[in-house]
Structure 1
């Protein structure tokens, strides 16, 4: 297991109050595969809080990834929705949990908020 992935999961509880503001609640199991072995992470989400364990258990959703892809996700070099749409990873279950969980991933280096870009453009036109 890469250090970036472990640090990512360790950081989730402290980041949850800022990221999970809406009424999302449920459990997502994230399965990471490498060399015919699968590591399981069980993430229980509730408004403003998250609980992470490295077990397999009952879940409302399951997200299957390669460890290499997940490392790209946690370092901002890939996007979760794009990976699912390209069939690089698969997801089953409550899609709301996937959409909420993806907000924990960092943005790609150099990415700017489109609202800020629009404000700057509007300011130049004045």
Structure 2
């Protein structure tokens, strides 16, 4: 399956994350439940830095899902908005911090941002044409 959510969280380093808006600060709690118990992860976001710890304290945004959902998010097999819309994950609190959560967990393997694809097509328009037509 790839990396688990716990492995992903433990591997997060404290360097600056330019993908997180500079003015977005707060706390997130990830509640991963499985087999009758819940594991709590606490993320503190300050000045584009994310500190990861373990706590069940109140947070500005709480995300709750089965551990396999978080594992699929960490492996890039599931997108956070899709999990939320299908009710596989509940989200409560300051939704602005959902941006942080989406930026911490990777997207699908090989996925590209639409702007990057547009830049590539602008640089080489022939690359976007289907040669079989």
Q: Which has the higher helix share?
A: 1
Equivalent residue, structure 2, for 1:70? 70
Unaligned residue ranges in structure 2 (runs of 5+): 127-133
The count of aligned residue pairs is 124
Equivalent residue, structure 2, for 1:42? 42
Larger Rg: 2
Map of 1:58-97 to 2, 5 A cutoff?
58-97=58-97
Map of 1:1-126 to 2, 5 A cutoff?
4-122=4-122, 123-124=124-125
Instruction: Name the Cα RMSD after superposition.
Output: 2.0
Please list every run of at least 4 consecutive aligned residues from structure 1 whose deviation after the TM superposition is greater than 4 angstroms.
Answer: none
How far apart in 2 are the matches of 1:75 and 1:3?
A: 5
Aligned with 1:14: secondary structure? Answer: coil
Q: So what's the TM-score if we normalise by structure 1?
A: 0.86
Give the drift of 1:28: 1.0
Unaligned residue ranges in structure 1 (runs of 5+): none
